[in-house]
Amino acid sequence: MKDEVESMERPELTFIPEVGALVRKHYEGADVILEYGSGGSTVMASEMPGKTIYSVESSRVWTKMMRRWFDQEQPVSMPTMQHVNVGPTGKWGTPKDGSAFQRYHLYPLSIWDTEDFKHPDVILVDGRFRVACALTAMLKCTKKTTLLFDDYEGRKGYHVLEEFLDKEEVVGNMARFTVKKKAPPRDQMTKIIGMFAQHF
């Protein structure tokens, strides 16, 4: 993701090399890719043939810029860019205030309800509402799915996910989880639903 600017420059992959290699490996092995947060990783995916790509964004300006970029470049795999209105946003698509708090749950969830949505093989969490996005994978996935969570290490607020998901690997600041088909923990639903209001 980027700040809210209107640039036609190629969105660059900003991961450190080891993390970029991890993302590339899992993207290459996937048929369907779901991203929360778009940018250089979306461009990388679009240059791989035969991919179905969904990318969710909270910044209207950044979404428009990404759409213009792909319309201009016509990559071999055209991403579906979905903007979710969570109210006015600032840097990195962060909500400026809580005026649209009643829509926050739509950021992680709404893409799954779109027509002809295909179940992802890999999910990249690199945008807003990160914990809610990962928990949505737990609630929605009906098959074993790889989840890549950026900036996980060093941010203890994210580590609550280990109560729900199996952490398999850490590369740099990115954690790789495996989401398995299983019933959600009913005794934890109050905690889970509460996390959908957190946009960090």
pLDDT at 97: 87
- State pTM to two decimals: 0.92
Q: What token pair was written down for 113? A: 């309800």
**Rounded to an integer, what distance in angstroms lies between the CA atom of residue 27 and that of residue 38?**
14
pLDDT band, very low/low/confident/very high, at 52 (cuts 50, 70, 90): very high
**Rounded to an integer, what distance in angstroms lies between the CA atom of residue 50 and that of residue 63?**
22
Q: What is the pLDDT of residues 137-174, one digit of tens each?
A: 999 999 999 999 999 998 999 999 999 998 999 999 99
- What fold characterizes domain 17-197? Rossmann fold (3.40.50)
Most confident segment among 10-14, 18-22, 99-103: 18-22
